[in-house]
Amino acid sequence: MPTPIADAPTHYENFPVASWLCPPALRPPIAAIYQFARTADDIADEGSADARQRLDDLRAFRADLDAVSRGQAASPRWASVFVPLGHAMHQHRLPAALLDDLLDAFAQDVRKTEDGSGYADRAELLDYCRRSANPIGRLLLHLYGVADPVALARSDAICSALQLINFWQDPSVDLPRGRFYFPDSDCAAEGLARDDFRRFAPLAKAAPPPQAIALIAAEVRWARALMAEGAPLVHRLPGRIGWELRLVVQGGLRILDKIEAAGCDSFTKRPVIGKADAPLLAWRALRMRRQSAK
């Protein structure tokens, strides 16, 4: 789930997609999972369809998932998604419930954007992450044959942290689109209400007040702490998946570094990882490996 290199494809951007570090035999199922998630995310978020049409399309998409999970043919509408996914599900026994959780999260995004509701507290937002991000990590661990409870819990922590990092990276994108991920309790702790965000960037093109900067700083600390909970998983996974995960973790942490370097103002400009960051990420990933041997 690495944050993308600048100018790379941005669809479902915080998730790894059959990278060169992945064993060749696992590239097709990982690509199938990615295509499934990317297409569902586009149904929920792209184009000009209204909320009702998006939800109808997601229900149809879910029906095709149900079909292939039972070994039946999906509709021809998304054949490029469900033919390879059906093959991957049956060859690798992918848990359909995890894929279904992703669709549930995408539908929740549509509903919350439509009605303007948000998240009351961190627990509610983490429940969303449980369905929007954690299934990806669990599906990848399943492909690698890793299923012990400690590894799964650490994977969940990493995936939730990456989802949060994406939120704190993206208010300049999410707020104009009606998506609000800051927990109400965190806003209240900084003296903010949801309507206050209409008065500054990016909606009003005005500088964010100190309370909003303090909010981002608090959310960054939360995401960093959650990533630290999951990071020991890199020492549990050998070989290519271990290296992939090291880069995933360091990519997420690098975005947090950039948010802090910008004064915790991601309302004005979206921080991204560029090609110039690659040597630093590689060095940090290598250093994680060396430390694990001490």
Given this model, what pLDDT does residue 121 score? 98
- Percent of the chain predicted with pLDDT > 90: 75
Angle made by CA atoms 285, 290, 292, in degrees to the nearest 5: 95
The fold adopted by the segment(s) 119-294 is: Farnesyl Diphosphate Synthase (1.10.600)
pLDDT digits (tens, 9 = 90+) for 130-150: 999 999 999 999 999 999 999
Beta carbons of 132 and 112 less than 8 angstroms apart? no
Domain residue spans in the chain?
21-117, 119-294
| pTM recorded for the entire structure | 0.90
148, two tokens: 């012990």
Contact present, 144 and 113 (Cβ < 8 Å)? no
Confidence category of residue 291, pLDDT binned at 50, 70, 90 = low
pLDDT tens-digit readout, 18-51: 455 678 889 999 999 999 999 999 999 988 999 9
